[in-house]
Amino acid sequence: MTSHQTMMIRMFIGRCRRLALGGLTLLAVVSTSVSADAYSLPDMGSSSDSMMTRSAEARLGKLFMRSVRSALPVMDDPLATSYIESLGTALVESDRTAGGSFTFFLIDEPVVNAFAGPGGYIGIYAGLILAAQTESELAAVMAHEIAHVTQRHLMRSFEDQSKLSLPTTALLIAAAILGAQVSPDAGMAAIAGVQAAALQRQINFTRDNEKEADRIGIQTLAGAGHDPFAMAGFFERLAKATRVYESSAPEFLRTHPVTADRIADSLGRAEGFGARQRADSLRFQLTRAKLRERSYRRAEQSVAHFEDTLGGGRFREEIAERYGYALALQRARRFTDAKRESDTLIAAHPSQAEFIVLDAELDLALGKGTEALAHLKQAVSLFPSQWPLRVAYADALMSAGEPARALDELKAVARVRPANALLYEMIVQAATKAGDQADVDRYRAEKLYVEGDLEPAIRQLEMALRRRNVPYHDAAQIQVRLDAWREEGREEKKRGGNPLRAAPLSAR
């Protein structure tokens, strides 16, 4: 790039940092661990479906997530992920305007933050979960983000990007997030090679879209049985924290404060539904305990924290606090002490997936592999819909030197949880150890596709079909998948990689 282009890119990233979003994504930059504005999320304005086909938007989402994964620590913990997915799914189901698919994922960073990208990808930071005093407050942020997606606020951004290719658009979206959240240099790296002139296209965010996301978000909260006042309560509490710590508040918070009018408007809308007291779920408390334990750099610090809170009685839910303590002991390799805590947890809640997985992991660490396998197998048979249990069982089978059985378990999970890059990587590892080269090719292709690499995915599937002794049923499934991907590739080439090229002029 020329020096002029570099300067223009830096100017663009600077705008991203001031606006918390530039170019083509809606992004909530709430704060560091001391302050936040969970609802000043610049958005895109609504748009009709004709702006972009659903399939093109899904492809854009995959490309977007590939960039996010390369720059941000996406947390692949099955138990924490399944919790955030279950909360998000319940909110989506209560939103009558919701359509299409959603993917909820966690970012392992201590900042209070959330963002939504194309294709219904919604990222929730660990710091947000820890900052939320109630499950309804966490749900309020997620409901607001869901509303941005369901109202298609993102799509209008493409009106000004009709000459950009799908990969370039995804890079711009990722650059906006990286530039606003990580650093200007990270944003620069993400958009290297993108024309600087294209980066100057800015979206004028409207207050009406924010109000719409608030309004629909509060309605969604109430419909899912959460406290509709949680949104205003979170606004107000974090706004006060921002004022207290204003000297150290992020630039975004200094230029985009939570306004009294917005808080008042949220309170007024919540009044229409009335107050609803809802106890936090145990899974919410357990997820917070896990994230709290992970937030300490050293295991000794984590152990000391939980010993202090338990000893002083400073906790909301003792069972969750003891879970965090057991995890800290496990990380400190004090397996016998951790097992003692785990036995107490299992006795209190024998069907809780978090406790079953922890107990099995400790049994494995203590050389009790047979017991771990037996307990996990029983848990999987009793709770077949609990996919984290099956993943834990597969891990235990791999540790026991039974990759073929682990492969069967992981493939069973993949049938109900498609489009999961981490799961496909685990399947590839199990298939490699089991000597099943056809499955190696097949699921490596699926991983490539999920990550947005369509052409390499097609080539990988073609290799799978050329393998000898591929069962007829598997070959037929591979062929169907291959035909669909080839058609997708042909359609993309017709548009020249541009998701808007096939859209009618009246939609632009």
Amino acid at the residue 165? S
- Active-site residue, 145 included: yes
- Flag the least confident range among 23-37, 194-208, 413-427, 448-462: 23-37
* Residue 241 pLDDT: 64
* Residue 285 pLDDT: 98
CA distance 68 to 171: 10
Residues composing the chain: 508
Catalytic residue from among 137, 214, 359, 361: 214
Q: At what angle do helices 318-331 and 299-312 cross, to 10 degrees?
A: 150
pLDDT average, residue stretch 435-446:
94
Catalytic residue from among 43, 95, 145, 341: 145
In which band, very low, low, confident or very high, does the pLDDT at 183 lie, cut at 50, 70 and 90? very low
CA distance 8 to 338: 54
Tell me the three state secondary structure of residue 103.
strand
Element (H, E) at 112: strand 112-116
Question: Diameter of the chain by CA atoms?
Answer: 68
Query: What digits encode the pLDDT tens for the residues 368-410?
Result: 999 999 999 999 999 998 999 999 999 999 999 999 999 999 9
* Residue 423 pLDDT: 93
What average pLDDT does the structure give for the chain?
A: 79
* Residue 59 pLDDT: 78
CA distance 243 to 473: 63
* Residue 193 pLDDT: 41
> What pTM did the predictor assign?
0.81
* Residue 418 pLDDT: 85
* Residue 488 pLDDT: 85
pLDDT at 207 over 90: no
Backbone angles phi, psi at 204, to 5 degrees: -85, 105
Residue 172 burial by CB count (10 A; 0-12/13-18/19+): exposed, middle or buried? Answer: buried
* Residue 243 pLDDT: 58
CA distance 457 to 489: 11
CA distance 51 to 393: 44
pLDDT at 158 over 60: no
pLDDT at 37 over 50: no
Amino acid at the residue 409? E
CA distance 187 to 172: 9
Please enumerate in sequence order all residues whose Cβ is within 8 A of that of 394, keeping only pairs 6 or more positions apart, or say none: 406, 407, 409, 410, 413, 426, 430
CA distance 11 to 180: 12
pLDDT at 165 over 90: no
pLDDT average, residue stretch 409-422:
90
pLDDT average, residue stretch 296-324:
97
* Residue 496 pLDDT: 62
High-pLDDT (> 90) share of the chain, %: 50
pLDDT at 77 over 80: yes
CA distance 322 to 333: 16
Amino acid at the residue 436? D
- Active-site residue, 214 included: yes
In which band, very low, low, confident or very high, does the pLDDT at 56 lie, cut at 50, 70 and 90? confident
Backbone angles phi, psi at 124, to 5 degrees: -120, 125
Residue 248 burial by CB count (10 A; 0-12/13-18/19+): exposed, middle or buried? Answer: exposed
The answer to whether 125 and 111 have CB atoms below 8 angstroms apart is: yes
In which band, very low, low, confident or very high, does the pLDDT at 504 lie, cut at 50, 70 and 90? very low
Strands across the sheet with 121-125, in order? 26-31, 112-116, 121-125, 103-107, 74-75
Which one has a higher pLDDT value, 307 or 453?
307
pLDDT at 161 over 80: no
pLDDT average, residue stretch 485-491:
89
CA distance 226 to 412: 33
pLDDT at 5 over 50: no
The answer to whether 217 and 116 have CB atoms below 8 angstroms apart is: no
The answer to whether 213 and 261 have CB atoms below 8 angstroms apart is: no
In which band, very low, low, confident or very high, does the pLDDT at 23 lie, cut at 50, 70 and 90? very low
* Residue 498 pLDDT: 52
CA distances (Å), origin 141, targets 238, 319, 433: 12, 26, 42
In which band, very low, low, confident or very high, does the pLDDT at 156 lie, cut at 50, 70 and 90? low
pLDDT at 492 over 60: yes
